[in-house]
Each structure stands twice: as C-alpha cells, then as structure tokens.
C-alpha cells in the first residue's frame, strides 16, 4: 500500500490528530484507471462541500492534484482513499480556531469483482444508520454504524447490506447508494437525515435526466423496495450493481434499466 501524508511517504499519524479522537474529518474513495482518478472533479466538489459544512479549510486543488500525481506515478489502477483530518489541537471537542488539516492519500489494490451484469445479493442490516441532519450527506469519518452493519454477515455471497434509520427509512447500503426502478421512474432515498451523497448517485440523476427518465428523491421504506420492479446500488469503486436477490427474493434482471446502468458505469469508470 502506498501512502502520502501531507505529501510525504509517511505511514504514521501523530496520536494527537483529531481524526483518531473524534472522527473529525472527511474522506473520498476513488477508482483509479489508466493511472488517473475517475470523476475527480465530483469528488473534489463533494470534499469542498464537506469542508464548508464542517468548517475545515479545503487544501488548494493544485496541491491535492500534485500529491495525487506523485502517489499514482507508475500506477495503472487501484482504489484511492483521500482522508482530510482537522489535524491536531483544540482542547477536548472544541476544534482549534485555525485548524491545520492533514491530507492522507492511500492507494489500495482494486478489489476483484465478478461480472457486474450478473447482479448481486443484498440483505437488510439490523444496525440502524445514524441520524443527524447536521452530518447527513457528508462522507465524514464517523462510520461506526456502517462498521457494525457490515459486521452482521460473513457470507461472501452477499455483496451488500441495506441500512435503515431507527424509524424505518431506507438510507442505502453500508457503502453504496440505492435506486429503485418501477419501469418508468427512478426513486432514491432522501439523504437529509442520514447517509452519504455518493458521486455516482449524482451521476445517475444527471444521466437519467439526460435520458428523460424521472428520478424522485424521497423517503423510501421496505414496502417501496418490495414493490419495486428492480433496484440497483452505486458507488465510486463498483460503479453500478444491479440487485439480483434481496433477502430470499429473486429479482428479475431483465427488468433493470440497462441502458442507463451501462451509461452510468461507463461514466463512473472514466478516468480524469
């Protein structure tokens, strides 16, 4: 694994960093193809939005891009994780008035994936997703809910688990956004109370709009999912996963909006 900490090849972080103590920071996970991160500008925009919401100074884009180029030198593909912490300092929860964020870049191998077109099996998780409108949508470092949810199953045949708020709103998967398809329209969970606004989620909405397909963002629950003709999951690394099985129910893959899925996957996996 390659690592850069503030541009230097260090693999240790000072123990006073607030990411360790409070999860005080943000992250981005990007797919690297042909030596370049895919959808970089979307990830950068989301990071900037997260910084504004948390009160973190955003590092200059040129600095991040220069460090990315260093990290990816000679690399063909992989999974890149960018972590931005609030740095050290402040007493207790109170952050320093002028934080000095730390930039951490980590490069992992791209995980092996079966043919995405065959779809995946999905389960429901018992662990609820954490609800907080002040944090909802952000890709912040407080992810214990997803850790506990992902810990619920050990069956390699199950690719993802769906998480719900304590009052039963489905928020998405532990690591992915969810879309339902009723044959003419898409539906995706509102993320104003919980969850992460994925970059590929945004891409789906844009490409659907271009194709004249409506996409409604609203509260969704288990009944909505049961009634859907098809559903699929998205994130930056997988691109798109059609759901072939939901708990005990087989979902006919023929009912997927395949043209859209192919377009989303191609865009999500385009470097640069």
d(CA 138, CA 195): 8
Smallest gap from Cβ 31 to its own copies, in A, equals: 14
Smallest gap from Cβ 17 to its own copies, in A, equals: 7
27 versus 241: smaller Cβ distance to its own copies = 27
d(CA 136, CA 174): 14
85 touching its own copies, by CB under 8 A: yes
113 touching its own copies, by CB under 8 A: no
CA atoms within 13 A on the CB side of 124: 15
Reference 100, options 53, 45, 56, 62; nearest CA is 56
Of residues 11-40, which lie at the interface with its own copies (CB under 8 A)?
11-24, 27
Question: What is the sign of the dihedral through the CA atoms of 49, 52, 163 and 154?
Answer: positive
Contact range with its own copies by CB under 8 A, out of 38-46, 136-144, 212-220, 223-231: 136-144
168 touching its own copies, by CB under 8 A: no
Reference 7, options 67, 73, 74, 59; nearest CA is 67
SS3 140: strand
d(CA 62, CA 217): 34
Smallest gap from Cβ 187 to its own copies, in A, equals: 23
Smallest gap from Cβ 248 to its own copies, in A, equals: 23
d(CA 144, CA 254): 36
Count of residues touching its own copies (by CB under 8 A):
60
Contact range with its own copies by CB under 8 A, out of 57-65, 112-120, 135-143, 211-219: 135-143
Phi, psi angle pair for 210, to nearest 5°: -60, -35
129 touching its own copies, by CB under 8 A: yes
Smallest gap from Cβ 90 to its own copies, in A, equals: 8
The footprint of its own copies (CB under 8 A) covers 1, 3, 5, 10-24, 27, 54-55, 83, 85-86, 91-95, 97, 104, 106, 111, 126-135, 140-151, 154, 166, 174-175, 193
């Amino acid at each position: 694994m390659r690592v850069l900490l503030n541009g230097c090849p260090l693999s240790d972080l000072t123990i006073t960093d607030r990411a360790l103590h409070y999860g005080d920071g943000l992250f981005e996970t990007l797919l690297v193809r042909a030596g370049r991160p895919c959808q970089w500008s979307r990830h950068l925009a989301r990071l900037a939005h997260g910084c504004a919401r948390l009160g973190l100074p955003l590092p200059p884009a040129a600095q991040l891009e220069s460090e990315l180029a260093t990290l990816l030198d000679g690399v063909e593909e992989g999974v890149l994780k960018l972590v931005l912490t609030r740095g050290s300092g402040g007493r207790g929860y109170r952050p320093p008035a002028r934080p000095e964020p730390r930039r951490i870049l980590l490069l992992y191998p791209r995980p092996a994936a079966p043919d995405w077109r065959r779809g995946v099996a999905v389960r429901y998780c018992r662990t609820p997703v954490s609800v907080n409108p002040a944090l909802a949508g952000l890709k912040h470092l407080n992810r214990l809910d997803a850790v506990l949810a992902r810990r619920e199953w050990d069956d390699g045949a199950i690719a993802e688990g769906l998480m719900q708020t304590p009052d039963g709103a489905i928020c998405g998967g532990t690591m992915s956004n969810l879309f339902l398809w009723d044959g003419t329209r898409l539906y995706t969970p509102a993320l104003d109370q919980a969850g992460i606004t994925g970059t590929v989620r945004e891409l789906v909405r844009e490409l659907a709009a271009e194709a004249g397909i409506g996409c409604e963002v609203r509260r969704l629950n288990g009944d909505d999912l049961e009634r859907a003709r098809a559903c699929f999951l998205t994130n930056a690394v997988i691109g798109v996963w059609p759901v072939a099985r939901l708990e005990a129910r087989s979902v006919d893959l023929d009912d997927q909006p395949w043209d859209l899925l192919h377009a989303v996957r191609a865009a999500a996996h385009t470097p640069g």
